[in-house]
């Protein structure tokens, strides 16, 4: 386990202090001018990356970055039960998180990093905002409708797994044990991410060398350069039914994240 060099600060922020986050102050030396927001994925994937998000935040703080990781409304320790969740609400939460880390760090510029759906939300924010200097996207969801279909298929395999002791029936309004209201599904199915969108430095990480991602790799490298894409193998596939609630933790990712931001953010 990585020992924190600075003391993380748990906090509530946003509208009516409804959002929970953890702020990692930068080490005293060297301090970077920018700040970083780590964007969680949604649903069961949120649980799978908690450890790596914590360790990545610590590693980035050691490099002198101010870092905020947070929970979207209706997720984790933030207010709400998830029944009112959709991508518009989570995008607003990300805007609030960016404002919070800028205020605490005294920074006018930010960088964003996210995994899966968190990468997609970060990508959209990088397209919409003028104060984002860099984006690191790990296994970004580029087609929301295909992503929903993949999750539904994963849940079907998970429920049919004979090793499970629980009922094999799907609970309406949930997906893999997490709230999945119709409004969230609708907003996800409308999600499309274009690689040429952000007007900033972009670095895309894939956890598997999948031929289906080659078009994404080619388009990203065409727009952002040959060093804008890499494969960092994970120990577990996202769509493995036997590993739905296990951690995805490639140690190389936390190391690569620090190196990428140190190079991208001045």
Residues 182-238 have pLDDT tens digits of: 999 999 999 999 988 888 889 998 887 778 888 899 999 999 999 899 888 776 688
DSSP state of 190: T
As a residue count, the chain comes to 266
Which position has the token pair 């609630």? 245
- For the cut 90, the answer to whether the pLDDT of residue 169 exceeds it is no
pLDDT of residue 196: 85
Residues 125-138 have pLDDT tens digits of: 999 999 999 999 99
In the predicted model, what is the mean pLDDT of the chain? 88
Distance of CA 137 to the CA centre of its chain: 8
Whether the Cβ atoms of residue 201 and residue 135 lie closer than 8 Å to each other? yes
Residues 72-125 have pLDDT tens digits of: 999 999 999 888 899 999 999 999 999 999 999 999 999 999 999 999 999 999
Q: What is the biggest distance separating any 2 CA atoms in the chain, rounded to whole angstroms?
A: 54
pLDDT of residue 168: 65
pLDDT of residue 4: 45
226 Cβ neighbours under 8 A, 6+ residues apart: none
Closest CA to 129 of 107, 106, 98, 105: 98
Q: Which secondary-structure segment (H or E) carries 206?
A: strand 201-206
Q: What distance in Å separates the CA atoms of residue 211 and residue 123, rounded to the nearest whole number?
A: 22
Q: What is the DSSP string of 65-83?
A: -EEEEE--TTSTTSSS-ST
**CA distances from residue 103 to 96, 152, 155, 203, 231 in whole angstroms, order as listed:** 11, 40, 40, 26, 34
Whether the Cβ atoms of residue 188 and residue 121 lie closer than 8 Å to each other? no
Q: Which secondary-structure segment (H or E) carries 17?
A: none
Question: What domains lie within the chain, and their CATH numbers?
Answer: 9-143+195-264 (3.40.50.1820)
């Amino acid at each position: 386990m990585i020992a924190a060099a600075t003391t993380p600060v748990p906090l509530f922020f946003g509208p009516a202090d409804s959002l929970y986050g953890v702020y990692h102050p930068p080490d005293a030396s060297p301090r970077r001018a920018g700040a970083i927001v780590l964007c969680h994925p949604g649903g069961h994937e949120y649980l799978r990356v908690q450890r790596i998000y914590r360790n990545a935040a610590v590693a980035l703080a050691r490099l002198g970055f101010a870092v905020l990781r947070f929970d979207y409304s209706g997720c984790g320790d933030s207010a709400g039960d998830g029944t009112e969740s959709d991508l518009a609400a989570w995008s607003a939460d990300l805007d609030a998180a960016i404002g919070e880390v800028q205020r605490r760090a005294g920074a006018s510029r930010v960088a964003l990093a996210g995994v899966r759906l968190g990468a997609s939300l970060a990508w959209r924010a990088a397209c919409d905002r003028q104060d984002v200097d860099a984006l690191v996207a790990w296994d970004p969801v580029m087609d929301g409708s295909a992503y929903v279909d993949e999750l539904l298929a994963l849940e079907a395999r998970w429920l049919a797994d004979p090793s499970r002791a629980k009922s094999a029936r799907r609970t309406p309004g949930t997906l893999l044990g997490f709230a999945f209201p119709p409004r969230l599904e609708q907003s996800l199915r409308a999600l499309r991410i274009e690689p040429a969108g952000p007007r900033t430095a972009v670095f895309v990480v894939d956890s598997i060398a999948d031929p289906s991602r080659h078009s994404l790799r080619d388009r990203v490298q065409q727009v952002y350069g040959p060093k804008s894409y890499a494969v960092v193998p994970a120990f577990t596939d996202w769509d493995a039914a036997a590993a739905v609630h296990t951690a995805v933790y490639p140690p190389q990712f936390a190391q690569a994240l620090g190196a990428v931001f140190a190079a991208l953010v001045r």
